Amino acid sequence: MYYLCKDCIYTDFFMAKKDNNDFSIIDDLGLSADINEQRHQVIPIIAGNDDDTIESVELPEVLPILTLRSSVLFPGAITPITVGREKSIALVRAVQADNGLLGAVLQRNAEIETPTPDDMYRIGTAARILKILEMPNGNLTVILSGLEKIEVGEYISTEPFFKARVTPLLDATPDKNSVEFDALVESIRDVALNIINTSPSMPKEASFAIKNIDSHRGIVNFICSNLDFSDDDRQMLLEAPGLLARSRKLLEILIREQQLLEIKQDIQGKVKQEIDKQQRDYYLQQQMRTIQQELGEDEDGDIARLREAAKDKKWSDATKAMFEKELSKLERLNPAVAEYSVQMTYLQLVVDLPWEEYTEDNLDLKCAREQLDADHFGLEEVKERILEHLAVIKLKGDLKSPIICLYGPPGVGKTSLGKSVATALGRKFGRIALGGLHDEAEIRGHRRTYIGAMPGRIIETIKRCGSSNPVIILDEVDKLTVSNHGDPSSALLEVLDPEQNTTFHDNYLDMEYDLSKVLFIATANDISAVNPALRDRMELINIPGYILEDKVEIAERHLVHKQCETHGLSDEQMVVDRDMMRKIISEYTRESGVRSLDKHLAKLARARAKSIAFEEEFSPAFTAEEITKILGKPKFLNDEYEIKDMVGVVTGLAWTQVGGDILYIESILTPGKGKLSLTGSLGDVMKESATIAYEWVKAHYKEYGINEEVFEKFDLNIHVPEGATPKDGPSAGITMITSIMSTYTGRKVKERIAMTGETTLRGRVLPIGGVKEKILAAKRAGIHTILLPEENRKDVEEITADYIEGLTFHYVRTNEQVLELALE
């Protein structure tokens, strides 16, 4: 047997010293602790040079099985194995005391601390223990000599260690005269030597062993044992059916490893060349700069372009001084370093910004009104505010731009209105989507010390617009969110404060920029979700929604023509008259805006385009049958008033994010003990309103002729239909009182009457919000009479007469007035 270590060979546990490639026996001392201390340098070597010298042993039917965590033992190889698990230590000591034979099997996952039979491969190697070395840490190092390949069958015991039935698997040996096998072995030897000589991690003494092993079997198994392969590859080599198959697979793996090694060396060489090139370029750049300075040509093309662009800038002295400082810093940088491109990007932004560059406002007020009217139907309050702004500019010549916030349900034209304002003013237009924004740096920018730093969206939009007085839409300002990266709504406080935005500071720009001439228009659906401090800085304009007539006008003026253009139709090929438009609006949409209406018109346009493409006959005007066929059955018939001559059912008015809606409050008495139950997915506030209404009715039962015993013998159930839809808010208070009183007294609710208002235990009716949206919902549903709190009278007076035409309003202060007006 041979054991090779850095500069020593051990022969049958005799140590031989290498001296000028000659070996002489030094001492009979076995594998000493000194060698074990350097076991990472020990290379297991084949037991002999001839195939016949491998120990032939008659294996017993059952062998102890030693699980190997990350090593594969090959027949004929001598390998040191570190044993640390208690079960493995017990196995080694028991085997040493017996015949010294065991089976060495690799476990499939090295991370498993206590493997089971299913966690181990079925093919392993029978081995004999040659030597056991006690380690200082309590582990054992066992020198194993591989005998022959085995297949592990049934495990007959697992304690105190594994024992299993094994079947010897003899590796088929090719014919000694096989030319193919000889060629394979020589190729394996050459490639292995090349890998050892090339790889810095392989000990060079291994090449000595490879050169001196004459046995074909020995050389193959030695290389399988010692070269740096994965455990999966080693196991696959061990399981190969015969020596020829193993040799083929080994050559394939060696060639793959050689190619990987060559690629690694190539990459390392390129990196070294790149570093050398950078050093060379830096040296040449320094020389070039010195020559240019001598010739008076010390500016390269990029710096020259920046200086040329800076000449025409209308910036302040402080901005100019900062630019010159940053430019001089750029000149001192080597263009090959990463910081050069960062500095160049920053300076490019500085010269691209429109410092004190403004577009001239169009002060023709009549023209501006015509533009606003042409783009949007209605929205008179917004248009008047814009025209007022233009009028002051025309008279005074200068005015800080107002901060306008348009709030209302989706689809009413808040965002598109900003573009119309920009067109009317003759200004550039920019839009910033704030929905879901959670990082303060998106507004103020990142500091340039961070990798990948960028300016904030405000500065980026102004740069894109190319002027310092654009119209910028801050879309969905109520959708800003707070995170660990800061509060974007707080960052907007500086942007939207006319007293502060003259000196807006962007972290990336690191200079003050004047935003006072920018006309900011914010949009929101739910104004209550906006930061109160931010809300205080804006001029709020409510856009509640459109009535049916408004939607018909918008569809005829804008939407139908838009869909014709989008789908390649002429206006004559798609005609939707007013009656059909009313049918679409009332039966297929339920919204304050026109977004859903636009989608349905697009569906009609696609159907008409299909008819034209298939050369089918059609009438330009859509009929009711065609609309039903294309859009399907009507979807929204249930918001029509549908109660009549009913006790305990009252129509209430509600506000939602998509506009107003009607809802029914129902109550009924059932035999019980006077318990109040609430159903319909009600929120806490609405439950409290129901409790207040119930207690108020109980407190005033004598005034309305209610028998006192009814409160003790009957339970009251209050239900709000559409139970899957969550509902909350205090404005259903008077509606619940009316429903409860109707149920207890048996008096019917007057026909086509609706109401909304909060109530108190004292019977006062408090004001509510969303008045216009609720009135529009009532009108859509065919309501004729509406009860509102007295303090909401001013809200109704601000509504255009067209919106409330055909409606009768009663303003109430107390619950008694409500019941007098609502009950028959």
Active site residues: 731, 774
Question: Could you tell me the two tokens for 636?
Answer: 């929204």
Report how far Cα 508 is from the mean position of its chain's Cα atoms.
25
Do 434 and 458 meet the contact criterion of CB atoms below 8 Å apart? no
Peptide bond between residue 64 and the one before it cis (omega within 30 degrees of 0)? no
User: Residue 814 CA to chain centroid, in angstroms?
Assistant: 52
Given the structure tokens 């619940």, which residue do they identify?
736
- Please state whether beta strands 62-68 and 140-157 pair in parallel, antiparallel, or not at all (unpaired): unpaired
- Listed in sequence order, the DSSP H helices in 50-143 are 86-97
Note the residue count of the chain.
824
Alpha-carbon torsion (262, 263, 267, 268), positive or negative: negative
Which residue type sits at 195? I
- Residue 778 pairs in a beta bridge with none
Tokens of 481: 């969110």
The amino acid sitting at 478 is D
Task: Return left, alpha or beta for 453; rule: phi > 0 is left, psi -120 to 50 is alpha, else beta.
Answer: beta
Collapsing DSSP to helix, strand or coil, 746 comes out as coil
Q: Is 14 exposed, middle or buried (0-12, 13-18, 19+ CB in 10 A)?
A: middle
Dihedrals phi, psi of 126, to nearest 5 degrees:
-75, 140
Q: At 312, is the secondary structure helix, strand, or coil?
A: coil
67 three-state secondary structure: strand
Any idea which residue has 């088929």 for tokens? 172
Bridge-partner residues for 60, per DSSP? Answer: none
Contact 714, 707 (CB under 8 A): no
What CA–CA distance (Å, rounded) separates 145 from 694? 93
Cβ(233)–Cβ(224) below 8 Å: no
DSSP 496-542: T-TTTGGGEE-TTT-SEE--TT-EEEEEES-GGGS-HHHHHTSEEEE
**Is residue 286 exposed (0-12), middle (13-18) or buried (19+ Cβ within 10 Å)?**
exposed
Alpha-carbon gap, residue 524 to 480, rounded angstroms: 10
- How far apart CA 504 and CA 395 sit, in angstroms, is 28
Select from 199, 190, 114, 100 the least CA-distant residue to 142: 100
Give the Cβ contact number of residue 511 at 10 Å: 20
Paired tokens of 301: 């093309």
> Using CA of residue 37, residue 43, residue 49, residue 50, what is the dihedral sign?
positive
Q: How many CB atoms lie within 10 A of CB 375?
A: 19
Q: What is residue 575's DSSP assignment?
A: B
Taking phi first (over 0 means left), then psi (-120 to 50 degrees means alpha), and beta for anything else, what does residue 632 get?
A: left
CA-to-CA dists, residue 159 to 64, 156, 653, angstroms: 11, 10, 78
Residue showing tokens 């039966």: 587
Q: In which residue are the tokens 């099997």 written? A: 105
- What value, to the nearest 5°, has the Cα angle with vertex 219 and ends 218 and 224? 100
CA separation for the pair 671, 495 (Å, rounded): 63
Which residue is it, tokens 């050369």? 615
Task: Please report, as a single letter, which amino acid is at residue 769.
Answer: G
